[in-house]
């Protein structure tokens, strides 16, 4: 179990999970809806199964590439900790579990489940043909607040969609920064990434742009929340402000000439931003 948790980097669930919970609690605070343990647990299970599928499939598909990169050669498949066959089986089990779980939520989630799985699995192919692979990664994670809202209401709404778009540009922006570590390696194998296509300076500029867009979308979503949910108040704006401040901080500690603190920017800062924002918004809605 420890090896499989390491394979999928289970701790990184912290990036998207708070936004899934935001989508869920936005939905149950609408008139006619209420908290239900069954739906709540099913939403959490869908998050886990979908993310397990995506991460494990990425490790399976990239096993030969990871083995050639000194930074990733310690991952489970190239290091011989897990076989490729076991990882592929793990992917299939989680894909089936995801689809089966959506069946017990509602019909629209069940019908759209193959689409959601296709999106999150498709990312693993994109570095082979497009430098916008980071956007596809963000698109996969953006489904979290939209899917959780859909699980409760069975309908789409602009607020969870805006938070989904926020996640897409936020994730794409910080994944571009993370990809700067592998520019020379990616070039040697003909792999695509924004740093490879635009150079590190151009990639950093695009990361800035993506995060500015994410901040703008988050402000717009917060405005709509306060307009449509009368109980929402200053906590949502506090959470939004902290999230944007941590985006700015993230860019202050990394540069094209110094990537020594990229893990601090990528893991710690973004994890804190997501948890703090999600917690404050949910508290605002509940209390």
The C-alpha atoms of residue 109 and residue 115 are separated, in whole angstroms, by 10
Q: How confident is the model at residue 281 (pLDDT cuts 50, 70, 90)?
A: very high
Find the radius of gyration of the CA atoms of the chain: 19
Q: Which two tokens stand for residue 162?
A: 């805006």
Q: Is residue 58 within a helix (H) or strand (E), and if so which, with residue range?
A: helix 37-61
Which is it for the CA torsion 95, 133, 174, 238, positive or negative?
negative
Q: What is the DSSP letter of 11?
A: G
Domains within the chain, CATH numbers bracketed: 2-286 (1.10.357.140)
Mean pLDDT estimate for the chain? 93
Per-residue model confidence as pLDDT tens digits over 157-205: 999 999 999 999 999 999 999 999 999 999 999 999 999 999 999 999 9
Q: How confident is the model at residue 5 (pLDDT cuts 50, 70, 90)?
A: confident
The answer to whether 266 and 178 are in contact (CB under 8 A) is yes
The C-alpha atoms of residue 54 and residue 51 are separated, in whole angstroms, by 5
The C-alpha atoms of residue 58 and residue 91 are separated, in whole angstroms, by 10
pLDDT at 259 over 90: no
In the chain, % of residues over pLDDT 70: 98
Q: How confident is the model at residue 266 (pLDDT cuts 50, 70, 90)?
A: confident
What is the arithmetic mean of pLDDT over 210-222?
Answer: 97
Please name the residues in contact with 212: beta carbons below 8 A apart, sequence gap of 6 or more: none
Q: How confident is the model at residue 146 (pLDDT cuts 50, 70, 90)?
A: very high
Per-residue model confidence as pLDDT tens digits over 97-138: 999 999 999 999 999 999 999 999 999 999 999 999 999 999
């Amino acid at each position: 179990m420890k090896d499989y948790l390491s394979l999928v980097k289970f701790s990184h669930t912290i990036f998207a999970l708070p936004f899934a919970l935001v989508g869920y609690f936005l939905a149950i605070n609408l008139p006619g809806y209420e908290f239900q343990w069954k739906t709540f647990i099913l939403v959490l299970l869908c998050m886990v199964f979908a993310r397990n599928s995506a991460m494990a499939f990425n490790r399976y598909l990239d096993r030969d590439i990871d083995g050639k990169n000194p930074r990733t050669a310690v991952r489970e498949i190239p290091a011989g900790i897990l076989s490729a066959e076991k990882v592929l089986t793990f992917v299939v089990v989680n894909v089936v579990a995801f689809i089966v779980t959506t069946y017990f939520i509602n019909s629209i989630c069940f019908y759209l489940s193959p689409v959601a799985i296709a999106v999150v699995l498709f990312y693993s192919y994109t570095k082979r043909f497009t430098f916008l692979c980071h956007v596809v990664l963000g698109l996969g994670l953006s489904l979290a607040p939209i899917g959780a809202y859909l699980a409760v209401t069975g309908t789409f709404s602009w607020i969870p969609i805006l938070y989904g778009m926020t996640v897409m540009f936020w994730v794409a922006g910080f994944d571009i920064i993370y990809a700067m570590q592998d520019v020379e390696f990616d070039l040697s194998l003909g792999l695509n990434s924004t740093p490879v296509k635009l150079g590190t300076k151009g990639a950093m500029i695009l990361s800035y742009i993506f995060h500015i867009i994410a901040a703008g979308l988050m402000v717009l979503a917060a405005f709509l929340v306060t307009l449509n949910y009368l109980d929402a108040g200053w906590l949502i704006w506090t959470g939004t402000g902290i999230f944007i401040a941590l985006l700015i901080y993230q860019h202050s500690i990394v540069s094209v000439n110094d990537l020594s603190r990229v893990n601090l920017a990528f893991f710690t800062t973004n994890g804190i931003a997501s948890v703090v924002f999600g917690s404050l918004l949910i508290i605002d809605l509940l209390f």
